Each structure stands twice: as structure tokens, then as C-alpha cells.
Structure 1
Amino acid sequence: MLKDLKIQSTSYLIKQLPTLTVFVDTDFNIIHASDKWLFTFGEKSTSTIGDSLFSVFSELNSKWKKVLMGCFEGKCSPIGIQKYTDISNHVKWYKWSNTCWYDENENIIGAIIQMNDVTDAVENERELRKTKVQLKQHSEISKTGRWEYDIEKDEITWCDTTKAIHEVPSSFVPRLDTSIQFYKEGYSRNAISMAVFEGQEKGRAWSLKLQIITATGKEKWVLATGKPYYEKGKLIGFTGTFQDIDEQVLANNEIKKSEKLLRTLIDNLPLNVYVKDINSKKILVNKAECIYLGAKNESELIGKDNFDIYDIETAKKFTEQDMKVMSDLVPILGEEMVSIDKKGVETTFLTSKIPLLDERGRANGLIGISVDITSIKQKEKELRNLIDVTSLQNKKIINFAHIVSHNLRSHSANFSMLLDFLRHENDEDEKQKILGMLNNASGNLLETIENLNEVLAINTNINVEKKVINLFEKLKSVEKNLANVIFENQAQIESDFHLDQTIKTVPAYLESILMNFITNGIKYKHPERKPVISLSLEKGKLVSILTIKDNGLGIDLMKYGNKLFGMYKTFHAHENARGMGLYITKNQVEAMGGKIEVESNVGVGTTFKIFFNEEI
């Protein structure tokens, strides 16, 4: 009875133990267990009492079983770790320790097992090992090693990766002085020496891209970092990293070489090349584009848009084109465009705009390529003008040939007829008359030839040289030459020319034009009034208009308008009318790239407007 009471008392005490404690016999059956143990492994019941330890720990490791069997034989019991999976499939880890269980006769009847939950420690250790593995892998992949220097011990430590970068064996023991000797002599060695000195004296960290020469003699680029560390304000050492960046540096150098080659090519192309972002702002321009826009260098244009460079209308047009190219993803190829900069300079370009696509096929900018064709367009215009002039000249020459043929044939027929009369005439008085007629005919022929020569000279001289002429002075010179005619006809010459009024023209032609129109205004004056000739000039940028108005007889343009400037065309009975003045004047004006317009009322007077082309 007392024995049973003693067992019950012992069991009660074991149940209250604050640790995970279990008593097993030599057959691994559970005899006693603390409540905490039962709560943890028996799911809050006593069902495990009497069960085998293996029923609780189905994954009982062989080491623990072997230790328990040794414990049954009185041997020492080292500590171990056991994995346990609860009913919720949560994995736990427990550290166990065993002691022998003796009866009152000092006989071993089993083992006393105590356990502690070390799940967090195990997980932390596993995470630590995992982190170490990852760090090692990262170190190997990134070729980044570690190093430390203990000032007190004067010891420097390299990890395996750092040793591999220096191409030394794993048994290599570095020293501070030999470590610095690995750096390439010159800048690299001086830089690392200065970094270590400033780190020691001023507490500065460093990160330097330098070159080393490995143990095998290979030159290699590295990124060396370091910083001092302190204990209670005292410098006790340095720690840092050492990364092999040789491949990166060499690759970057190759990229830079390629970029420089590409940039040299772009800058020396006889084309304007530029790149714009999605907002139509320039992010790259070549030398030709800088020169065209008057920029000293690329930085003056980077970030600028069309409104910063061109006049408002040109900027609007170009921006609309840019946005359309980037939205529709349809390039503009070889389109002729005219740009006007903020100074008003107009330039014609043959332009292509190509959308820049990202990896998703959307436009994030555009490339523009333009070639200045302003000079080509000018040459094209000059060629067209030359063709027009040539065509006009050809027509004039054909017309001139018909006139020459007709006039000379008339003179020839007249000479032939008079010579035939002279040959058959016997009367001396009649012969003298015929000889007089022949003399007049000869004079008329010479005058005709002179007129034809003047017209021919005008029509064939397509490269007449223009000069800037003072119009006021030229008019005074003509008035001086016509002084007698003006005086005899009591003519009045009026003009609004300024003293410094100029016009770009051929000097001889201008004098001839003024002479012809003034003399015509006097020659065909109205019999009931004194002749008044008024001259005025409307000065334009490219074209100037000289207006000459008279108050003479006037011309019936409905009747004679299409014949007004014809050769030998006269419209008034005047003894000195030859019909050559207006013809020659028209040819002179057209030879200078101009034209003549006329307004006239019979009995009122005539107004001629002479358009002088001052551009060419």
C-alpha cells in the first residue's frame, strides 16, 4: 500500500516538472511524462503513457536510438536534435539529453529524457547557413570578395574570392604591404596608398576603380572599397570589398570606342542628324545640325523643342509632323520641307523622320535626317529661268529672223526696182531723181540694219550686269541730254525721287528707257496743252516699279493693244515716228527679268509701269 502511494507521489511530481520530461523503460515504452511533455506531444491527453517512444517520434533518428541504448547500459549520453511534425504539419526541432533511470537498488530500469524547443534556433541557423551560401554564390557570381585588416595584430584577411581575384593559392597569407604591391605602379598604387592613409588619419571610406597585376602577371581592373571601424572611439581596423570588374571595364571601353566611332561618323556626315524624345525635344544633334542652327556645341540645343528654334508657323508645322510620326508609326521619307528660323532665314531641306520604338513597339522618340537643298533649289530656279529665257530668246530670234527677212526683202525689192528704172531711163534729170531715191533707200537700209543690230544685241546678251544706280541723278542726266527738246516743246518733267533713291538695273538700259518714254511723252503731246511727264518709284524688296505718266494723245488699247510693242508699229501720224522705241524698251526690260504694263485713255494720256527685278 505504501509502495503504491510512493509511486503515485513520484508520478505526481514528474507531471508538474516545468520542462519537457519523459521516462522510458528499456523497451522504449513511456512510463512517466510531465504535463508539458504530454501537452506538447500527446495532444493534451495522457494517451501516450504506456506507448512506445517511436509512436510519438515516428522519425526518431538512429543516433538518438543508439544513445538511448547506450544509456540503458550506463554510458554517457550526449546531446542531440530531433525533428517533430505536429498534427498541423508544422515542423519543430527539439534538443534532447538523456540520463540513466535507476530503481532503489541502483539498477538501470530505463532513461530519463529532457527536451527543449530549439525550433527558432534551428531555423535561424538554417537561414544563416542559407545566407552564407547565397553570399558565397553572390560573391562568386559578382566576383566580389571581402577583406579585413586588424591594426593591433597587424593581420590582413582575404576571403577565397579575393584570393582568386589576385590569382594566389588558397594558402596565401597576405600582408598590408604586399597587398598594396599588387596594385599597378603609378596612379593605382598611389591612389590606394592615399586612400588607406586618409582612412587612418581622417576616417574616410573609399571606393576606387583601379588596376592590379595578379600573381600570374595579368593586368586586371578592380573596384576596391574600404572603411575604418572603431571600438570606443579607437581605430582598430579596416574592412571592405574587392570586386573583379575587368570584363565590365573592358566591355565599357569597347562600348565607348563604338560610341565614339558612331559619333565621329554622325558628326562628319554631310547631313543634319538629330534625335528627339516623345515631347519633340532634342536629345542628340550632330555637328551639321549645330552649324545650321548657329549653336557652338550640342549642349546649346539639348532639351529644346521646335518653338525654341524656329518661327511660330514653322514650329507648329514641324511639331505636328513629329507627333504624327510618333503616333502613327509611319515614317516621313525624303519629303521637301521649308524651315524659317527665328532670324527669318529660310532653308529648304529634304527631310526624313523615323519613329524610335521601344521593346513594346511603342514610339519613345524619333530620328530626323535632313539635307540642305537650298542651293540645289536655287540652281533649279536659275535653270528654269534660263530655260524660260532661252525659250523666249528662241522665240525672239525666230521673230527677229522673220522681221529681218521681211525688211531686207522689202529693201532689196526697192533697190532692184530703182536699179531697173535707172538702167532703162535715158533722161538725165530722171536718172538724178532715181539716184536720189537710191541714196534715200541706202540710208533707210542702214537705219534698219542699225535698229536690227541693237535689238539683236539686247536679245542675245542674257548675262547683262546690273548695278545700283542713283535714279535721281540718272533722270537729271537724261533731262540734260534732252534739254533742247524739252525747251522747244515747253515740256515739264516731274518726279518724286529722293536724292539717294536707287534702283538695281543695267545703266545703259535705264538711260534708254527714260529717254524713250520721256521723248515719246513729248513727241506725242496733245496739241491743246503743254506736255507734262510725271515719274515715281515704288521701292519693293525684290521688285521696284517705275511709273511714267504723260498727258499726251493717248492710245486706243482696244484697237492697238496687242501691237503696242511691235517693231515698226506706229499709232499716230508723226513725221519722226519709226515704231522702234517701245519695241527696244520692252526687250531691254525683259532682258533684265522685268515687264511693262500700260494704261491709256485717248485724248487723256498714257501711264507706263516698268517692273524692275532687283533679285537677279
Structure 2
Amino acid sequence: MIAASALPDQTDPGDADGPSASESEQQLAEICRSIPGAVFQLRLAVDGQISLPFISEGIERLSGLTPEALLKYPQQLYNLLHLYDRKAFFQAMEDSARELVAWSQRFRFRHSKTQEYRWVRWDATPKARPDGSVIWNGTLLDVHEAETATEMLRVQSRAIESMNQGLLILDPHHLGMPVIYANRQYCDMMACGLEDVLGQDSPFLQGILRHAEPAGRIRQAIRAGRPFSGETLSIRKDGSPCWHLLTLSPVFDLLGKLTHFVALYTDVSELKKAVEDLRQSDERFRLLASATHQAIWDWDMLSGQLDWSEGLQEIFGHQPSELQSVIDWRIEGIHPDDRPRVLASMQQVLSEEQPFWQGEYRFLDAQSHYHWVLDRACILYADAMPVRMIGAMFDVSLLKDSEETLRRLNQELLRQNRDLEQFSYITSHNLRAPVANILGLSQLLEEEEVSAEFQHSALQGIQLAAQNLDRVIQDLNRILSQRQHILEDREDVQVQGLIDMVMANLSMLAAETRPEFSVTLGVESLFSVRSYLESIVQNLLSNAMKYRDPERALRIEILTERQGETVRLQIRDNGLGMNLPQIRGRLFQLYKRFHPHIEGQGLGLYLVKTQIEALGGRVDVESEPGLGTTFTLELRDDKYL
């Protein structure tokens, strides 16, 4: 309750027709309770002292303080003002007291219990007193919700004006749905002024959309009062086209009645152009990748995602259902012998932050065959960290085959050049000697005084020289014919079938020597030149049988095993053996023989070494007199090329 002594301007008791003091107090109390705030009387004395002669109970809802507390200590009202609002409060008080004008102000007021600031409105009318003081009668109302809503509207308005999209508000209650609001961005977007838009029919009902299909769907959405979203091609005021993403939303009141439509325009012209440019670029890239026979890959190094072009299927036969979008799948496709080298080179490039990487290796296709590829990639970094790698794999198998063929031909040419010395030796000795004998004996036979006995002896000498000459010529033909086989096509050669064929050729020698064979085939076939392999095995097996030890039964062991891409063929016997320290440098030379008591020409081992090297392999030998000999051949399996 408010004390009667606090009521200002009490009624004159001499007025018999007026209400009594108690009635006036009751009326004032009822009025104060009906106001959503507080009624007050504020007094400013001549000396500047401020007092509150009266304040209603509503102040407790606003401040958390009772009227009695504020009447006793009015300075508490000042303490409840927001720090930033105090100066403006007292300035307004001074202006109102000086000019005796109404005092209206909004400020933030703190609740003493919740410590929450709320917006309040202060409205007071000043009245000067004879003693020079000024008294204000007024109200203090809670306007927090209204002020907050007003501020939110201001924020929203600023947001609308600062947004990148164009915004229209349309009135659906009039024909043509005229525009009642347009923001600046819409005008800029359409190259027009606000006067060109406000009051005009909505753009999509003016028939200025280029595409009839979205225009029809927009009209259907408007009639149904439902949203619409889609791309539209509009025409600017200057006649130029522009693509927009239009979002049309209906607005309803609390009763569900349609009040407005809001149209939001997003300019997607640049995006549409970029998408079209990207589509054309992708198409050119796809055609280029197809024309150049390459597989494009794109590795997101942060997520591990790996994407492939269609070239992976065209070149390697991998179906889309087989493709795995992880880098591990691609690494596993690299040949095991190449994988450490490829990964090491890639890691070195990444550690040095180089922009490009290149490597050659074999990659597995869908039929489990390896292709030689040349792989080139560019690398993107972010903060010194590799984030993306884009590359192209070129199938260079044909080129590698050509290079390999050229390499073998070059090696063969080098060997032939080295063998010229051997041929010059044959020409100067093995050919020249019998020719010289024939010429010398022929000249002697031309002399007149030659006995019949001498003639017979000379003819025998000529015949022997001719036989030696024929043997040398046959050897040369054999060597040259064997060299021609290097250009033969490779094929899959079954090792057991090869051994059977060789033993059939050596059947008479085998029947004489009766060897005991032990064959262990860890590798049953290899891809090579059949005629070379047959000649190599036949020469080694015939040597093993010819140079057997007569004191013991002959045993021959044949075994094969794989070592990476190489097949190891070993032929071991328990024959006479050789003193390798003495003869190793001459072992594979032409016409070198190391067991003169056994018939031979010294040609077989020379051919073995020549043919092995022509196949890209190598030959090694171990031997001891009285123990036997082991030839170890390392043959390249061409199916891995």
C-alpha cells in the first residue's frame, strides 16, 4: 500500500461535492494497478536534491525494490540505471526542468534480484513550484519485448539490405501479385531502379522468363499456395539475360490465411557458366585422355579417396564395379618388384615438396597381366602439406617391347663385333691353313718329275685339307644360322617337353652312355625362343654324356626354380670335371677343347654362352676334376615383360 502522506496534490477539503481523501487514494491505487508499470512523482529541489514523493507498487515488478525502500532511499533508482544510460538520463532531466518540456526516454533498467536489464520507457510532465523546485508526474513502463522486437526488425532490415540475394515481397491479393518491397540487391541484379519494381507485377507473371516450363510450375505453386524452388532465366532492364535460383515462399497469418509471397533471387549466372565451362573442359579432357590412351587418376591425400577416368577400363579392362576408390588398391596393382622403388621415389618427391612426380613401372590389368606404364603427376600442397595428387598413366608396353627388342639387337650386334676377332682367327688359321696346303700340293703336282707315289700322297693331302676346309665352313654356317634365331617370336616353352625332344635327338649317345636322370621342375614353362633353349640344353647334355667318367655310372640332374622374373636352370653331372682355375678364361671361346682324348670340335660351349646372352641371361659353371660339372643358367622369363 501507498501511504496517504505520500499522495501528491491532495483535494481541497472545502469542496463538499468532491471525493473524500480515502476515496481519492483508492481511485489512485486502482489506476496505478491497471498500468503495466509504475506511476511516480519525482521532485528536483533548487539545491539539486532528488526525491520521490510518490511511487506506485508496480515499481517492485520492474526493479525488485519496494515503494517504501525507494521512498526512503531514492538514489537507488539511479543505481538501477545501465551505466551507459546514466548520462543521457540526467541530461534529459536537466533539459526538461529548464525548458519545462515533457520528458520521454527509453533506457535499460536492472532488476535488483535477477540482475537482468530490461528496456523501460520513462514519460513525465514537469511542473514548477513556487519554491523553485520542479515536480514530474509520470509513468515507467516495461517495453522490453517491444524494444527487442523493434531492434530485431532493424537488424533484419539491415541483414536484408546487406544480403547478396535479391528479395521481393509480393501481394497475392491483387491481380499480377504486385511488388510491395524490393531490396537494393534485387535492383542491382536486374540493372533497374526501385521505381521500376515497386507496384509492378511480379517478374515471373510478366512473361519475362525465357523458359516456359519453370514459369508454368511457378504459376501452379502460386495457385496452390505452396513453395517453389528452381532455376529461371530472366531478362534485365538492358535486355541481357541472367540466370537465377528463385525460391518462392508463401507467408501465412496465425489463422492460416495467405498474406504474402517472399521471392528470393540468387544470381547463378557465373555458376552456370562455370558449370558449362567445366562440362566442356571435362569433355575435352575425356576425349584427350581417350585419344592419348591414358588413365587419369585423382588422389585426395587427406581422405584417401581415389577417382579414375574411363581410361582405366579401356586400357586395363577393370570394370567400374571392380574399381576401388582407395589408394591401397592402386598400390597393390603395382608389380611387387617395382613397388618399393615407386613408393620410395614418390615419398622423396613429397618430402622435398616438389610439384611433379614421374615413374615407370608395371601395373596389373583385369586379366592378371602386367602392362608397362609411364605415370606422371602434379602435386598440390597446403601449408607445406601434400593434399592432392593428379596424374595420368600411359600404357607404354609396346614401346618397352620395342626398346627391349632394340636392346637385344644391340647386345647381339656388340657380341657379333666381339666375335669378329674369333672369325678373323678362323679365317687366318682354320681357313688359311687348309687352303695353303691345297695350293702348295697343287703346285708340286704341276712339276714334271713327280713319282706316282708322291702324286698319290699329295692327292691324299689335298683331300684331307679339303675335308678340314669343309668342316670349318660347316661350323661357320652353324654359328651364323643359330644367330638368326634371335629374331624368332617368343612362345611358352614346356621344360619337360623340351628335355624329351633333346633326349630324342641324343638317343644314340644316350643308348651308349646309359645316363641316370633326375629331373626336378620347380618351373614347368617359360616364355622364350624355343630353338635357342633346345640348342643350349642339347649341347650341355651331350657334353655331360661325352665327357663322362668311365669308372662310374653317369648321373645327370636337371632342376628349375624361379627367382623373381628369372628362371634358374641347372644341369649337373658326375663326369670327368675340369680344372677351372686354369681354363676359366678360355672355357667359352671358339674351338677350345680341354679333353683332347675325346673327339670334339670346341664349338658347343661357345654356342651355349652366345645363345644365353642373346636371350638376356647368363651362364655360370662349377667343376672339379674327378667330381663332375654343374652349369647354372639364369634365363629371363619374357612373360613378365
- The answer for the alignment partner of 2:275 in structure 1 is 256
The 10-residue stretch of structure 1 (583-592 or 369-378) with the greater mean CA deviation from structure 2: 369-378
Tell me the secondary structure at the aligned position of residue 330 of structure 1: coil
- The answer for the alignment partner of 1:3 in structure 2 is none
Query: Structure 1 length normalisation: TM-score?
Result: 0.69
- The answer for the alignment partner of 2:82 in structure 1 is none
- What are the within-5 Å matches in structure 2 for residues 118-267 of structure 1? 121=143, 132=153, 134-142=155-163, 144-147=166-169, 149=171, 158-161=179-182, 169=195, 173=199, 179=205, 186-199=212-225, 204-211=226-233, 221=244, 223-227=246-250, 229=252, 232=255, 235-245=256-266, 248-264=267-283, 267=286
The 10-residue stretch of structure 1 (137-146 or 236-245) with the greater mean CA deviation from structure 2: 137-146
| 1:161 to partner: Cα distance | 0.8
Cα distance in 2 between the residues matched to 1:565 and 1:396: 12
- The answer for the alignment partner of 1:366 in structure 2 is 388
- What are the within-5 Å matches in structure 2 for residues 265-304 of structure 1? 267=286, 268-269=288-289, 274-277=297-300, 279=302, 281-282=304-305, 285-288=308-311, 301-302=324-325, 304=326
| 1:83 to partner: Cα distance | 5.0
Alignment CA distance shift 1:383-1:209 (3 Å): same
Cα distance in 1 between the residues matched to 2:348 and 2:490: 47
Per-residue CA distance 1:355-405 (angstroms, 9 max, x = gap): 432xxx464713343544754666555544443332222101232223222
| 1:600 to partner: Cα distance | 3.5
2:487 matches 1:463: yes
2:475 matches 1:451: yes
Per-residue CA distance 1:22-71 (angstroms, 9 max, x = gap): 999xxxxxxx995459x9999959xxxxxxxx999432499x76xx8xxx
- The answer for the alignment partner of 1:414 in structure 2 is 437
- What are the within-5 Å matches in structure 2 for residues 23-42 of structure 1? 35-36=54-55
Give the share of equivalent positions with the same residue, in percent: 19
- The answer for the alignment partner of 2:418 in structure 1 is 395
Query: Which consecutive unaligned segments of at least 5 residues does structure 1 have?
Result: 1-6, 25-31, 46-53, 69-79, 102-110
Between the two proteins, the alignment pairs up a number of residues equal to 557
Q: Is the 8 A contact 1:280 1:305 kept in 2?
A: no
Q: Is the 8 A contact 2:43 2:53 kept in 1?
A: no
Cα distance in 1 between the residues matched to 2:535 and 2:10: 151
- The answer for the alignment partner of 1:538 in structure 2 is 560
Query: Which consecutive unaligned segments of at least 5 residues does structure 2 have?
Result: 1-7, 14-20, 33-38, 45-50, 57-68, 76-89, 111-117
Amino acid at match of 1:58: E
Cα distance in 1 between the residues matched to 2:43 and 2:611: 136
- The answer for the alignment partner of 1:306 in structure 2 is 328
Q: Is the 8 A contact 2:353 2:384 kept in 1?
A: no
Cα distance in 1 between the residues matched to 2:628 and 2:92: 136
2:94 matches 1:58: yes
The 10-residue stretch of structure 1 (255-264 or 207-216) with the greater mean CA deviation from structure 2: 207-216
Task: From 426, 437, 441, give the equivalent of 2:461.
Answer: 437
Per-residue CA distance 1:471-510 (angstroms, 9 max, x = gap): 55555555555555555x3634646489x96565555545
Per-residue CA distance 1:524-554 (angstroms, 9 max, x = gap): 444445x636353415475445544555444
Cα distance in 2 between the residues matched to 1:198 and 1:478: 93
Cα distance in 2 between the residues matched to 1:206 and 1:351: 48
Alignment CA distance shift 1:22-1:484 (3 Å): closer
Tell me the secondary structure at the aligned position of residue 59 of structure 1: helix
Q: Is the 8 A contact 2:576 2:625 kept in 1?
A: yes
Amino acid at match of 1:223: L
CA RMSD of aligned residues (A): 5.5
Cα distance in 2 between the residues matched to 1:497 and 1:91: 101
Per-residue CA distance 1:406-454 (angstroms, 9 max, x = gap): 2223223323432344345522221221122112111211211121222
Cα distance in 1 between the residues matched to 2:253 and 2:106: 45
Q: Is the 8 A contact 2:528 2:638 kept in 1?
A: no
- The answer for the alignment partner of 1:562 in structure 2 is 585
Query: Structure 2 length normalisation: TM-score?
Result: 0.66
Cα distance in 1 between the residues matched to 2:42 and 2:204: 61
Q: Is the 8 A contact 2:93 2:103 kept in 1?
A: no
Q: Is the 8 A contact 2:227 2:248 kept in 1?
A: yes
Tell me the secondary structure at the aligned position of residue 257 of structure 2: strand
The 10-residue stretch of structure 1 (434-443 or 469-478) with the greater mean CA deviation from structure 2: 469-478
Tell me the secondary structure at the aligned position of residue 250 of structure 2: strand
Per-residue CA distance 1:180-239 (angstroms, 9 max, x = gap): 75655621222122223443xxxx54444444567887755362422363655xx53243
